[in-house]
Amino acid sequence: MIGEAQHRALLERLAALAEAAGQEILRHYQGPIAVTRKADASPVTIADQAAEAIILEALATLLPDVPVVSEEASAAGHTPKIDEGADRRFWLVDPLDGTKEFLSRNGEFTVNIALIQGRRPVLGVVHLPALGTTYTGSVPAAGGPGLATLAHRGEPPKPIACRRQPKDGAIVLASRSHANEAALQAFLSNEQVAALENAGSSLKFCRVAEGLADIYPRLGRTMEWDTAAGQAVLAAAGGSVRTMDGKELGYGKPGFENPHFVARGRDA
């Protein structure tokens, strides 16, 4: 069990680790990028694999007894057994979330690292290598207030918080590369919308967390490593991620696949 006093020190180390993986990704960002396809036809590059290797090696020393579920290792068939206990702990890692954003070189790709405890993300780091930006979130395992921060290019981290939805309507974020237009429009018909914007990767969670947007509906397929770190940041900032039936999005599901969900800022 990790006590609350240990969270901050561990989160600082996770932020440094995500930034180190981000530096490795940037080594491949400017040159030609070879792309292969996984079994689900999604793209993977040497940058994904190199960043994952850095993260897996470091996590094995940080908390040696905590298993790691990581996107590329799982795609290769290497998924550890997760304890079924109510307080089970494991890491979720996406070494390069937004590979399509990476390939299009728009900067909206991230390194995601999250610690799950009791089916909830209690620590999370989302790092944007091309933008030099790092978000962190720490949430008590028992619930209650957390701490979310934003740091830019070596500056000291600053606390961030969700905003309450403005009276003139919500800024809604949609996926830049995975939009389901018909489902999105059906969802928006029940919301008061001031603007609809597009963004890539788990950056969408973070924009809601820092009060730049209000709602992020995801009405398509995602995996737990895509969402855990961003959910930790958003929850720590006062927001929520709930399934379409209103339940908190949980982790450790069979196959690690998520249902559709809606991420929101601070409740009215």
Instruction: Report the half-sphere exposure of 201 (CA within 13 A, side-chain side).
Output: 26
Rounded distance between C-alpha atoms, residue 201 and residue 177, angstroms: 9
214 is annotated as contributing to ligand binding:
no
Rounded distance between C-alpha atoms, residue 128 and residue 27, angstroms: 14
4 is annotated as contributing to ligand binding:
no
248 is annotated as contributing to ligand binding:
no
Is residue 247 within 8 Å of 222, Cβ to Cβ?
A: no
87 is annotated as contributing to ligand binding:
no
110 is annotated as contributing to ligand binding:
no
Is residue 112 within 8 Å of 229, Cβ to Cβ?
A: yes
What residues contact residue 186 under an 8 Å CB cut-off, 6+ apart?
Answer: none
Query: How far lies 27's CA from each of 104, 112, 222, in Å?
Result: 16, 18, 27
94 is annotated as contributing to ligand binding:
yes
Cα torsion 207, 210, 215, 216 to 10°: value is: 30
96 is annotated as contributing to ligand binding:
yes
Beta-bridge partners for 151: 134
Residue ranges of the annotated binding site for substrate are 71, 96-99, 226
Residue ranges of the annotated binding site are 71, 94, 96-99, 226
Residue ranges of the annotated binding site for Mg(2+) are 71, 94, 96-97, 226
